[in-house]
């Protein structure tokens, strides 16, 4: 059993690291529990630290026990000072204090990665299929931890679906939740790329584009090392937006050319993929605007005509897509204006 001398020495060694000290304190609190409950409570804290918040139904699912046992363990856990009420999710909801949660989860991911992924998978399973925006965000968050490849693919689809249709605060909430994974080094590879791009796109939509130089550069650098062309295209697009907002037009044109090249290749590989077809049309539209701003109106008209045709086909196949209709109307207006100017 951990002695007071042990705890004091560890706390002294962790001086200045609030999260490490919180974990040491939690370890000590668990060590003085009865032997029959100590391991169960440790596992309960493992599960709770993976979650942003929890209540009895979630913990029953996470612990894979019957409700009475989950209730007993949850009542014991909630007696610890690092457990707080979380009324935003209901009067019986709780969460682990951030310092303890961040530190405990980081240690779990580092020392027991299989358990961390297993608990993340169980959390993703709980939130899967629920329509609430908060649940969809939690599902994306936990899936990235449980299965980075599948999580990255899901996040890309979700971000594409929400682009132009979701409320700005929803995209912001998604980006903020996912940024936690980047801050604590819990994602890598394609999962990390999707988190970076998602955060960058959200901040850009809030008018912070010119401030995203470092984030955009990191996104492109990471994307170049991965076999993830759609992610690379979006990283280049973010980078181009940053350069354009900073008045570096030549660099922006080069970045958008990269986006267009990749987008054409993806669209040609799978003509039935509506997402990639829309991505191509948007890339063409962006390039057309750059051409128009530099006085190349004939080239801009040719590009806008191509983008217009793609969107017409998309809207014809999926008339329920209101965002696509809006994008088609915008491109048609710009095409009409340029053609009128050329005449």
Nearest to 73 by CA among 25, 123, 39, 118: 39
Taking CA atoms, 333 is separated from 154, 167, 277, 291, 328, in Å, by 33, 25, 20, 16, 9
The CATH number for 96's domain is 1.10.10
Q: Are residues 293 and 209 in the same domain?
A: no
Which of 216, 249, 269 is a domain's end point?
269
The two three-digit tokens of residue 94, written as one number: 């709780």
Which of 58, 89, 114 is a domain's end point?
114
Nearest to 125 by CA among 51, 67, 199: 51
pLDDT at 321: 86
Which of 219, 234, 269 is a domain's end point?
269
Q: Note whether residue 34 is domain-resident.
A: yes
Q: Are residues 299 and 233 in the same domain?
A: no
- Model confidence pLDDT, tens digit, residues 274-332: 989 999 999 999 999 999 988 899 999 999 999 999 999 999 999 988 888 999 999 99
285 DSSP 8-state letter:
H
Q: Note whether residue 121 is domain-resident.
A: no
Provide the pLDDT confidence category of residue 20 given band limits of 50, 70 and 90.
confident
Q: Are residues 109 and 135 in the same domain?
A: no
Q: Note whether residue 123 is domain-resident.
A: no
pLDDT at 1: 47
Q: What is the mean pLDDT of residues 32-41?
A: 90
> 265 pLDDT exceeds 90?
yes
Q: Note whether residue 40 is domain-resident.
A: yes
Of 215 and 171, the structure prediction assigns the larger pLDDT to 215
Q: What angle do CA 187, 193, 198 make, to 5 degrees?
A: 105
Q: Are residues 216 and 301 in the same domain?
A: no
The CATH number for 235's domain is 1.25.40.10
Q: Are residues 309 and 252 in the same domain?
A: no
Nearest to 235 by CA among 221, 246, 247: 221
Q: Are residues 188 and 313 in the same domain?
A: no
Q: Note whether residue 6 is domain-resident.
A: yes
pLDDT at 18: 83
DSSP of 7-19, one letter per residue? HHHHHHHTTT-HH
> 176 pLDDT exceeds 60?
yes
For residues 205 and 170, what is the distance between their CA atoms, to the nearest angstrom?
A: 12
Q: What is the mean pLDDT of residues 246-252?
A: 93
> 112 pLDDT exceeds 90?
yes
> Residue 83's beta-bridge partner residues?
96
Q: Are residues 14 and 136 in the same domain?
A: no
> 219 pLDDT exceeds 60?
yes
Q: Are residues 227 and 315 in the same domain?
A: no
For residues 15 and 9, what is the distance between their CA atoms, to the nearest angstrom?
A: 10
Q: What is the mean pLDDT of the chain?
A: 91
Q: Note whether residue 245 is domain-resident.
A: yes
Q: Note whether residue 120 is domain-resident.
A: no
The CATH number for 303's domain is 1.20.58
Q: Which domain holds residue 160?
A: 128-269
Q: Are residues 47 and 32 in the same domain?
A: yes
pLDDT at 187: 95
Q: Note whether residue 236 is domain-resident.
A: yes
Nearest to 249 by CA among 181, 182, 313, 257: 257
Residue pointed to by tokens 């951990």 = 2
The two three-digit tokens of residue 97, written as one number: 């204090």
Domain total of the chain: 3
Q: What is the mean pLDDT of residues 85-111?
A: 94
Nearest to 123 by CA among 200, 177, 73: 177
Q: Are residues 100 and 216 in the same domain?
A: no
Least confident of 38-42, 161-165, 220-224, 245-249: 161-165
- Model confidence pLDDT, tens digit, residues 41-95: 999 999 999 999 999 999 999 999 999 999 999 999 999 999 999 999 988 999 9
Q: Are residues 281 and 252 in the same domain?
A: no
pLDDT at 170: 86
pLDDT at 167: 74
209 DSSP 8-state letter:
G
Q: Are residues 261 and 323 in the same domain?
A: no
Q: What is the mean pLDDT of residues 198-225?
A: 94
Q: What is the mean pLDDT of residues 327-339?
A: 93
């Amino acid at each position: 059993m951990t002695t007071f001398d042990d705890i004091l020495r560890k706390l002294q060694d962790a001086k200045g690291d609030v999260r490490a000290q919180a974990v040491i304190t939690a370890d000590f609190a668990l060590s003085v529990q009865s032997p029959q409950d100590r391991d169960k409570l440790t596992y309960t804290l493992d599960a709770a630290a993976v979650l942003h918040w929890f209540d009895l139904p979630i913990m029953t699912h996470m612990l894979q026990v019957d409700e009475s046992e989950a209730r007993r363990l949850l009542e014991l856990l909630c007696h610890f000072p690092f457990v707080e009420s979380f009324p935003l999710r209901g009067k019986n909801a709780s969460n682990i204090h951030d310092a303890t949660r961040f530190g405990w989860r980081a240690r779990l991911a580092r020392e027991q990665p299989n358990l961390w992924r297993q608990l993340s998978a169980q959390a993703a399973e709980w939130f899967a299929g629920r329509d609430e925006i908060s649940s969809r965000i939690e599902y994306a968050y936990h899936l990235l931890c449980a299965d980075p490849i599948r999580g990255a693919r899901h996040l890309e689809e979700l971000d594409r679906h929400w682009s132009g249709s979701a409320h700005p605060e929803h995209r912001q909430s998604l980006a903020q939740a996912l940024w936690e994974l980047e801050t604590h080094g819990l994602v890598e590879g394609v999962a990390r790329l999707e988190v970076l791009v998602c955060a960058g796109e959200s901040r850009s939509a809030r008018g912070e584009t010119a401030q995203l130089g470092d984030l955009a550069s990191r996104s492109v650098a990471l994307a170049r090392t991965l076999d993830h062309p759609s992610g690379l295209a979006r990283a280049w697009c973010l980078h181009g937006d940053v350069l354009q907002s900073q008045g570096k037009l030549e660099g922006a044109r080069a970045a958008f050319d990269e986006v267009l090249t990749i987008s054409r290749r993806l669209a040609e590989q799978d003509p039935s993929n509506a997402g990639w077809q829309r991505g191509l049309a948007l890339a063409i539209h962006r390039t057309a605007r750059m051409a128009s701003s530099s006085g190349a109106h004939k080239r801009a008209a040719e590009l806008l005509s191509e983008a217009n045709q793609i969107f017409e086909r998309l809207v014809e196949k999926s008339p329920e897509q209101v965002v696509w209709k809006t994008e088609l109307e915008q491109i048609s207006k710009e095409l009409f204006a340029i053609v009128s100017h050329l005449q």
